[in-house]
């Protein structure tokens, strides 16, 4: 990967990217409230399963196909992929999250002087993977590296949520990131080569946790 592409990937995967990712826990806060996650081992099991069986097995595959469509300028295919991804969101909370983050990133890219704002102008609503893949494609970030960066950003945000909600210490957070990070190269490689027909997103406990979090009485994360 060229040095500038690497820098752009670090930019997109940074927790300072102003899209509001830190305000969401994706059901993790409810899992803590219910007692399903109460320590470091529980957090690793929860986040690891969501990563492998949800984000990497579904969202990252759609991201890979969106990257390919951006690179060949197939806007019709992008609209189709985005509609399918939005339809896959199991709860109001998850749908609102991806739309809000997608809107925030699209607005940010529009304000950047060296980014062609017309790329996203034709989409009235767009998911976060669609906006993120647009930036990654325009900045010539290789697909497998882009997917690994996307998965890392998601995992880092979940670990930060666990630090606040469980709560856990900073050293525990770093152990979680080391353990999750070891899985990312293989998961990114699989997602980059997977057909859409191979996607899988069967996480009933995750969907239930997200749904219950929408009405959780006391919560620090957005719903």
User: How far is the C-alpha of 192 from the C-alpha of 186, rounded, in Å?
Assistant: 10
Is the pLDDT at 163 greater than 70? The verdict is: yes
Residue spans of alpha helices (H) in 88-127 = 92-111, 118-121
Q: Which helix (H) or strand (E) holds 136?
A: helix 128-138
Q: Which two tokens stand for residue 111?
A: 């304000």
Residue 83 has a pLDDT of 97
How far CA 89 is from CA of 72, 84, 179, 201, in Å, comes to: 27, 9, 27, 10
Is the pLDDT at 116 greater than 80? The verdict is: no
Domains and CATH numbers, the chain: 27-213 (1.10.4190.10)
pLDDT band at 117 (very low <50, low <70, confident <90, very high): low
pLDDT band at 119 (very low <50, low <70, confident <90, very high): confident
User: How far is the C-alpha of 116 from the C-alpha of 98, rounded, in Å?
Assistant: 22
Burial zone of 85 (CB within 10 Å; 0-12 exposed, 13-18 middle, 19+ buried): buried
């Amino acid at each position: 990967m060229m040095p500038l592409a690497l820098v752009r990937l670090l930019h997109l995967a940074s927790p300072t990217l102003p899209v509001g990712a830190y305000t969401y826990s994706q059901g993790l806060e409810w899992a803590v409230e219910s007692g399903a996650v109460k320590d470091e081992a529980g957090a690793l099991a929860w986040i690891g399963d969501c990563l492998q069986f949800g984000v990497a097995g579904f969202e990252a595959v759609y991201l890979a196909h969106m990257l390919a469509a951006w690179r060949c300028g197939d806007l019709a295919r992008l609209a189709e992929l985005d509609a399918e991804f939005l339809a896959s969101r199991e709860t109001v909370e998850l749908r609102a999250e991806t739309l809000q983050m997608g809107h925030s990133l699209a607005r940010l890219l529009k304000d950047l002087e060296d980014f062609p704002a017309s790329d996203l102008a034709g989409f009235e609503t767009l998911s976060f993977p669609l906006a993120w893949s647009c930036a990654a494609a325009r900045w010539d970030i290789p697909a497998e590296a882009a997917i690994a960066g996307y998965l890392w950003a998601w995992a880092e945000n979940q670990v930060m949520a666990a630090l606040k909600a469980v709560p856990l210490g900073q050293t525990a957070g770093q152990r979680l990131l080391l353990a999750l990070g070891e899985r990312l190269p293989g998961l990114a490689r699989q997602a980059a080569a997977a057909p859409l027909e191979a996607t899988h997103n069967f996480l009933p406990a995750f969907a239930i946790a997200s749904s219950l979090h929408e009405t959780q009485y006391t919560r620090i994360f957005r719903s």
